[in-house]
Amino acid sequence: MYPVILAVAFLVSVQSACPPGSCDGIICPDLVSCGARERWEPNGGGICGCCPICIRILDEGDSCEPLPLLGGTLDHQCDDHLKCHAHRRVCVLKDQV
C-alpha cells in the first residue's frame, strides 16, 4: 500500500514541478557535439528537461548515482549492458543487481 502512495506522490510532484509550457522562454546554451564516451540527450538538462545535455557513459566499476527522486537527468549513466547498483553506487552487470 505504501509503495503505491509514494509512487503517486512522486508522479504528482514531478508533474507540478514541470507543468505544460514550463520550458517556454528558456534559452538553452548551444550544444554542438558531445565527446568520446558521451551521449547527446536532446531534452535531458535540468529538472524539466528543457535543454540538451551530454551524458557521460560509465564503465563497469565506475561510481554512479541512482536516478534522481524528483525527475531530471544525471550527467552520467552506466553503459547499456550495466546498471547502477543502488547500495554500492557503482556500475555493475544488469544480472548482478
Q: What is the pLDDT of residues 18-69, one digit of tens each?
A: 888 988 988 888 877 899 999 998 888 777 888 899 999 999 999 998 666 5
pTM of full prediction above 0.85: no
- Give exposure, 54-66, as e/b (b: 16+ Cβ within 10 Å): bbebbeeebebee
Three-class secondary structure of residue 23 per DSSP: coil
- What are the extents of the domains in the chain? 36-97
Three-class secondary structure of residue 88 per DSSP: coil
- Residue 56 Cα distances to 17, 26, 74, angstroms: 26, 24, 9
DSSP state of 14: H
Q: How far apart, in whole angstroms, are the C-alpha atoms of residue 24 and residue 40?
A: 21
On whether the 36-97 domain is CATH 2.60.40.60, my answer is no
pLDDT at site 36: 93
Q: How far apart, in whole angstroms, are the C-alpha atoms of residue 97 and residue 93?
A: 7
Q: Which residue has the higher pLDDT, 97 or 5?
A: 97
